[in-house]
Amino acid sequence: MPYAMYPMPAYAVVCDDVKGFSGHIQRLGYAIQNMGGYLRCPFPGVPGRERSQGALHHSLAVPVPLTAPQPLRMMRTMSSPSVGHSLAQPVARILAFFNQKGGTAKTTSTLNVGAALAERGRSVLVVDLDPQASLTMALGVNVAAVQGSTYDLLTDEDRPLADLTVPTPVFGLSLVPSHPDLAVAELELINMLERERQLAHKLSGALPYDYVLLDSPPSLNILSINILVAARELVIPIEPHPLALLVLPRLFDTLRKVRRLNQDLQVMGFLPTKVQRQARLTQDMLATLEQRYPACPLLPAVPWSVKGAEAVVERNSILHYSSRSPVAAAYREVAAALEQQESVP
Ligand X SMILES: Nc1ncnc2c1ncn2[C@@H]1O[C@H](COP(=O)(O)OP(=O)(O)O)[C@@H](O)[C@H]1O
Positions in the binding site for ligand X (CB under 6 A): 102-108, 134, 218, 273-274, 302, 304-305, 308-309, 312, 327
Residue 124 φ then ψ, to 5°: -130, 135
The DSSP output letter for 135 is H
CA distances from 14 to 48, 64, 76, 91, 94 (A): 19, 5, 11, 16, 21
Residue among 117 and 327 whose Cβ is closer to ligand X: 327
Residue 154 · residue 203 · CB < 8 Å: no
Nearer to ligand X, 48 or 177 (CB): 177
Peptide linkage before 65 cis (omega within 30 of 0): no
User: How many residues are given for the chain?
Assistant: 345
The H or E element that residue 96 is part of is strand 93-97
d(Cα 213, Cα 173) in Å, to the nearest integer? 10
Report whether 217 contacts 129 (CB < 8 A): yes
Residue 190's binding partner among Mg ion, ligand X, none (Cβ under 5 to 8 angstroms by kind) is none
Q: Which amino acid is at 64?
A: V
Q: Which residue is nearest to Mg ion (CB)?
A: 107
Q: Report the run of H or E that residue 167 belongs to, with start and end.
A: strand 166-167
Q: Which of ligand X, Mg ion, none does residue 150 bind (CB under 5 to 8 Å by kind)?
A: none
Pick what 305 binds: ligand X, Mg ion, none; C-beta below 5 to 8 Å, kind-dependent: ligand X
Which of the residues 25 through 84 are near Mg ion (CB under 5 A)?
Answer: none
From the CB of 202, what's the least distance to ligand X, in Å?
22
> Are 176 and 164 spatial neighbours (Cβ–Cβ below 8 Å)?
yes
Question: Which of ligand X, Mg ion, none interacts with 102 (beta carbon under 5 to 8 A by kind)?
Answer: ligand X
Q: Backbone phi, then psi, for 269, in 5-degree steps?
A: 145, 170
Measured from the CB atom, the residue of 189 and 214 that comes closer to Mg ion is 214
Query: Of 29 and 308, which CB lies nearer to Mg ion in the complex structure?
Result: 308
User: What is the number of helices (H) and of strands (E) in the chain?
Assistant: 14, 11
Contact flags string 128-157 toward Mg ion, x per CB under 5 A: --x---x-----------------------
CB of 318 to ligand X, least distance (A): 8
- Closest contact distance (angstroms) between CB of 107 and Mg ion is 3
How far is CA 316 from each of CA 113, 122, 177, 321, 332, rounded to the nearest angstrom? 13, 18, 15, 7, 15
Span near Mg ion by CB under 5 A; candidates 80-88, 89-97, 127-135, 253-261 = 127-135
Measured from the CB of residue 274, what is the shortest distance to ligand X in angstroms? 4
Smallest gap from Cβ 139 to ligand X, in A, equals: 13
**Mask for 305-344, x = binds Mg ion (CB under 5 A):** ----------------------------------------
Give the residue with the Cβ less far from ligand X, 305 or 316: 305
Sign of CA pseudo-dihedral 118, 120, 121, 122: negative
Decide: is 107 part of the binding site for Mg ion (CB under 5 A). yes
Rounded to a whole number of angstroms, the minimum distance from the CB of residue 218 to Mg ion is 7
Provide the binding-site residues for Mg ion, judged by CB under 5 A: 106-107, 130, 134
